[in-house]
Amino acid sequence: MNLILETEEHTQLRSAVAALGRRHGRGCDPEALWTEAAKLGYLGVNLPEEHGGGGGGIAELSIVLEELGAAGCPLLMMIVSPAICGTVIARFGTEEQRRTWLPGLADGSRTMAFGITEPDAGSNSHRITTTARRADDGGWVLTGRKVFISGVDIADATLVVGRTEDARTGKLKACLFIVPRETPGFTRSRIDMELHAHEKQFELVLDEVRLPADALVGDEDAGLLQLFAGLNPERIMTAAFAIGMGRYALDRALEYARDRQVWQTPIGAHQAIAHPLAQAHIELELARLMMQKAAALYDAGDDVAAGEAANMAKYAAGEACVKAVDQAVHTLGGNGLTREYGLASLVTAARVSRIAPVSREMILNYVSHQTLGLPKSY
């Protein structure tokens, strides 16, 4: 039986991006890497060809992010700009929105942030309080707050999740709006994070932000369908981010375990070192398989099945990443905590994959009641 998990084109893409990652490496200039990746067509590989993209899908984009992560230089904004925002606009945006945004998102000359999380909502998107109401001129007025929004300062606009009132039921429904960075009333303040990354985190305030009618992305009545069209790629790409990070840490540990000698033999010859590293490798490979399944389902247009698989992939990748990083640091001992080897900072970074964009506990809740049919606890 000839089992093909990736096409020849996928294998070639993986190899080419890995070479790009090695040229830049850990500690590189993220802007220079972003520029070169964009020039080579990697950033927009998932976006439509007619708007400057590569005509692929999340499967291809996840390969790019994973291989850059495995080289020690992942680009967080890939999750937000082409994966979430680019996908939503490509699927649901007007033709004018596609023409305006997709070419720039594809060639890296423009970026877009994604604003969903709120101080009092957390993982419960049904409690989002950022509201949008119709203005007298037919436009929109947005009011609310967002928190832990990545890269707002470097993004040309933010795709903001708000809620509008359904005239028929009086209930609030989710809607998506493009808010340019310098829009009056749209202010940001940086959150002081212990984790040091190129992409900073911000709290946003939308104080009577006035937007034109065409700031709305898609159908006002589509609600959660459009929202989850962006959240499923987010989970898949977060899995790619985590798998790449785990692979990077594991590779550093393997190099060390092959060379480091304490009792006249490399420490990697000892099962106490070798077995945990082998286990970390197995768990990363298993997570990648689920990520590939999720990407294939999403790209095939099966949003329901992709939702389940994307959550499982994100969960598996987050767990595998944390274990791989922890074991890598442990393998190096004291050296694992030095700047020279560059692993200690990953201890904090790896845990992000367990928390964002949705916590491991909420994924377990999802699987419990959506997949297993158990009653909700909330």
pLDDT digits (tens, 9 = 90+) for 278-327: 999 999 999 999 999 999 999 999 999 999 999 999 999 999 999 999 99
Predicted pLDDT at 219? 80
Average of per-residue pLDDT across 83-109:
97
Distance CA 195, CA 373 (A): 38
∠ CA 107-109-112 to the nearest 5 degrees? 100
pTM of the model: 0.95
Predicted pLDDT at 173? 81
Predicted pLDDT at 196? 81
**pLDDT, tens digit (0-9, with 9 covering 90-100), for 178-222:** 999 999 999 999 999 988 888 999 999 999 999 999 999 988 776
Distance CA 311, CA 360 (A): 9
Predicted pLDDT at 164? 86
Q: Angle formed by the axes of helices 303-332 and 224-259, to 10°?
A: 30
Predicted pLDDT at 5? 77
CATH topology of domain 8-110: Butyryl-Coa Dehydrogenase, subunit A; domain 1 (1.10.540)
Nearest to 326 by CA among 283, 270, 262: 283
Tell me which amino acid residue 76 is.
L
> Would you call 66 exposed, middle or buried from its count of C-beta atoms within 10 A (0-12, 13-18, 19+)?
buried
Chain-centre distance of CA 25, in angstroms? 20
User: Going by DSSP bridges, is the β-strand pair 186-190/201-211 parallel, antiparallel, or unpaired?
Assistant: antiparallel
Rounded to 5 degrees, φ, ψ at 40 are -85, -5
Distance CA 195, CA 356 (A): 13
> Would you call 149 exposed, middle or buried from its count of C-beta atoms within 10 A (0-12, 13-18, 19+)?
buried
Tokens of 320: 């595998």
Nearest to 290 by CA among 317, 268, 272: 317
231 and 174 Cβ atoms separated by less than 8 Å: no
Distance CA 11, CA 69 (A): 16
Predicted pLDDT at 226? 82
CATH topology of domain 113-217: Butyryl-CoA Dehydrogenase, subunit A; domain 2 (2.40.110)
- Residue 3 scores a pLDDT above 90: no
Average of per-residue pLDDT across 143-160:
97
H or E element: which one contains 189? strand 186-190
Predicted pLDDT at 222? 65
Average of per-residue pLDDT across 264-276:
97
The SS3 of residue 261 is strand
Predicted pLDDT at 123? 63
CATH 1.10.540.10 domain residues, the chain: 8-110
Distance CA 353, CA 349 (A): 8
Residue-averaged pLDDT of the chain: 94
The SS3 of residue 170 is coil
Tokens of 188: 């940001």
> Is the model more confident about 197 or about 153?
153
- Residue 1 scores a pLDDT above 50: no
What are the counts of helices (DSSP H) followed by strands (DSSP E) for the chain? 11, 8
- Residue 168 scores a pLDDT above 50: yes
Nearest to 164 by CA among 135, 187, 202, 197: 135
CATH 1.20.140.10 domain residues, the chain: 224-371
Predicted pLDDT at 327? 98
Distance CA 63, CA 7 (A): 12
Termini Cα distance of the chain: 46
**pLDDT, tens digit (0-9, with 9 covering 90-100), for 15-72:** 999 999 999 999 999 999 999 999 999 999 999 999 999 999 999 999 999 999 999 9
Distance CA 175, CA 160 (A): 8
For 224-371, CATH number out of 3.30.390.50, 1.20.140.10, 3.40.50.1110, 3.40.50.300 equals 1.20.140.10
Predicted pLDDT at 34? 98
User: Going by DSSP bridges, is the β-strand pair 186-190/157-165 parallel, antiparallel, or unpaired?
Assistant: unpaired
203 and 188 Cβ atoms separated by less than 8 Å: yes
Neighbours of 28 (CB within 10 A): 16
Strand partners, 159: 114, 178
Average of per-residue pLDDT across 229-257:
97
CATH 2.40.110.10 domain residues, the chain: 113-217
